[in-house]
Amino acid sequence: MSHASYELKAVARERVGKGSSRELRRNGNIPAVIYGDKQAPISISINTNEITKRIHAGGFMTTIAVIEINGEKIKVLPKDYQLDPVRDFTMHIDFLRVSANSQVSVQVPVHFVNEDKSAVKIGAVLNIVRHDVELHCPADNIPEFITVDLSGAKIGDSIHISAVKLPAGVTPVIADRDFTIATLVAPAGGVEEEAEA
């Protein structure tokens, strides 16, 4: 399942706008907002170093966080963050408030296993169509990744979402078709002769 939850300390912001956001960043903080769950949005600021570590650790967008503001703890899921296009530092973060029965949509990475037990071993090329898949999940049951087993896959095979075992309560956002995650294709120079024989 998803990474263990983590806690962040935040401070409620009274002033919002470009000027106060610039001042926050100069002082080592990032402006952020918590919204959703039929409650009023809360403007907050979070320590830049703390949040940057979380973003670069991986799994940031699929891990529930607990944000503490003035002694109140709020469970959230990061929904979006903006990076400065030139200097690559975090400019702003949006958090979605979640509860025990919240359903969320998240992009979950796809991992491929058993390439050595498929046509890849004899030179086939794994053509990855989707590196991640958007899934509807319970907020407290977000998969860290989904696994595609390539055992027995041959050249010309397509791996569809229906071939992937998803955790209980987890469904693909695209529900109207059995979409392709990857295909196995012959390499440009053909496969090794022993495979053709």
CA nearest neighbour of 108 among 136, 129, 84, 89: 136
Report the C-alpha gap between 106 and 135 in whole angstroms. 6
pTM over 0.75: no
Which tens digit of pLDDT belongs to each residue from 144-182? 899 999 999 999 999 999 999 998 889 999 999 999 999
| Token duo for residue 8 | 């962040």
Does the pLDDT value for residue 4 go beyond 70? no
Which tens digit of pLDDT belongs to each residue from 6-48? 899 998 887 777 777 888 888 889 999 999 888 899 999 999 8
| Token duo for residue 163 | 């071939």
Q: Do 164 and 146 touch, CB atoms closer than 8 A?
A: yes
Which tens digit of pLDDT belongs to each residue from 47-69? 989 998 888 888 888 888 999 99
